[in-house]
Structure 1
């Protein structure tokens, strides 16, 4: 598959989903809770529906796995060589707290690797995308598009941490790094900050799921960065257990 041939269409799908999310964000929305006590709003559902419709318009042959539609049995998923992996709204806590740091995420996974990813930031009117072997780009709120690239860290590395999920284990890992600057951000924006050279390292020693990381993982690797588990292995997608192991994302 020529990923670049579908990139513009995927960006349009993400933009349409972002419009629906932003409309709800600007309203008096209601917050409900799933069985695991994680929050969900009408924006999650509206974005999911818009993305699924759009991706099926691009190809009806590529299966779709979404945070809001995860009841697909492993016996079916284990045969998928290529599939879409989406998080309709990553950072629902940021959404409900109205910080603006929530994202819409679409990734194409092939043989366990994210080869294309689009991340939009509806409230900030920004977008990021990356394609394997073809670089990564950022679109700002004015519509200007520029190529982005990771940078080599300075002596004091800029370490990204979650605003809502900075646990003691991650805090200890960061403290052991020595001299550093802490940069806090929500959702998959943490990876994008590294991809555009505004941060250097993001350790995550807490729970995440595959859809939380896949799209921004594609952006980061296309920008020259990488993500690896604590034992140095690449972060892999399409597992029976959809939880990620602990990992570290880094730039140059």
Structure 2
């Protein structure tokens, strides 16, 4: 999180009213922590839409939305921040418009670029926490490595059909994503996805974020949360560091 003291973070009467129900969970101190936190949402598609929506509603201070894609009609069954008249528009621009209307207290920064080796370190350095809304492993590994180099927490989320997973990576405390999966893992060109399942996994990711920032609740650091929406079974897998990994 950013280095400024909570004493310098004020909550207006309007904010206290807006966040009244979640203040019952983690109090004004927790809300101040959220307000001073900046977040990078990598990918503003299915997962990223839900993650950005819930982060904005929570009242984070700054949300950086990074995606180089434009809205397509096939996105509309699950990417809730993009509507029919947004087809052809850059996803970060489309998403930012709705999010600003939802919560004008949050600074929304759209970045209409793909994440690459050339820009990943710069993007990660601009924020406190990185959340993965991506659909490909190549970019996830770039983010994971950059976040680890920068000492920034990285929350991975992914889905395939009825199944999804969330991993909270905290540099210096947990294994990284490469410890879990081989770097050569390839992504399919089309991933089966339905809106309710994407929403479920995105909600889990933001819940872990909320606990991590506010300090209220048990954060599943270094564990893979696996949910099977077909049966509604959920399990947690303890991750182990690989001795040959760069993070070791």
- Which of the pair is proportionally richer in helix? 2
Answer yes or no: same fold by TM over 0.5. Answer: no
TM-score, normalised by the number of residues in structure 2: 0.30
- Which of the pair is proportionally richer in strand? 1
TM-score, normalised by the number of residues in structure 1: 0.29
